[in-house]
Amino acid sequence: MTQLDSRFYDDGREYTARDWGQVFQYLAGDGVMPGEGLEFQITQNNPLSMVVHIDTGVCFIEGRYGRLEEPTNKTVADSNESFDRIDRVIIRMDQINGMDIYIKRGNASSVPSPPDLMRSEAIYEISIAQIYVSAGVNIIEQKDITYEKNNYEVCGHALPFSYLINKRIMQEPRREEFIRNGENYIIRIENYVGDKRIYEEVYNRSDNNNISYIDRNAYDPTGEHLVLTSREYVNRNSNGYITGTSNS
């Protein structure tokens, strides 16, 4: 027989944080936990300054759990007099030192780009948001802050994908049916509004131009009419990996 790497057993062996983390990352994935705290909401300071306010939230990174229990303020580095810059609000998981949240400074340039994330066996970073620092400014406004929580290449959400498609499947009472056909799937959801049952079907499909999209079709409370309630297009990078969804 070929033995698998498995855990956990009452045989006296000791397990490290990395052992536990390798298991937990399959249960939640990396990113921000929806609905916990204020999901690391970032706002301009009042009065305006180079300070930004970061609210509470929970995240999972490489199977490690992190919680910001109290809001915190972070100061953006001084702007460059001649060129714009893009910074990032980062949560960093360090295998030795735990998690911290900080602002990672980008390089000032005529064509600025956000700083790279550090991702190694020892350190793994996710980006909550970008902050655009225009040349010569001494304040950060809300318009300068762009969230990246829906970008699964740099952040994402620490929940199963079916939850991200439709939060209603987490409500009770419900019945969920999951059908997979190749790369396509259908989620059929039975729910209630008062004493009326509502059926909703969520489809992942591609049209003839190979553009992937997600349709939500819901029966009205009478159960007689199936209506297309929304359509979201699936964004993919050059390698074909899903990076999020959009309305167009």
Tell me: pLDDT of 98 over 70: yes
Q: Of the ranges 51-55, 113-117, 188-192, which one carries the lowest mean pLDDT score?
A: 188-192
| Annotated domain spans of the chain | 28-147, 161-246
Mean pLDDT over 23-38 rounds to: 77
Mean pLDDT over 95-110 rounds to: 94
Give the pLDDT score at 243.
54
139 vs 121: which has the higher pLDDT: 139
Give the pLDDT score at 184.
46
Listed residue (49, 51, 50, 52) closest to 41, CA to CA: 52
**What global pTM score does this model have?**
0.61
Instruction: Give the domain 28-147 fold.
Output: Immunoglobulin-like (2.60.40)
Mean pLDDT over 95-105 rounds to: 93
- The four Cα atoms 73, 77, 79, 84 give a dihedral, to 10 degrees, of -90
Give the pLDDT score at 95.
86
Listed residue (51, 229, 29, 217) closest to 138, CA to CA: 51
29 vs 201: which has the higher pLDDT: 29
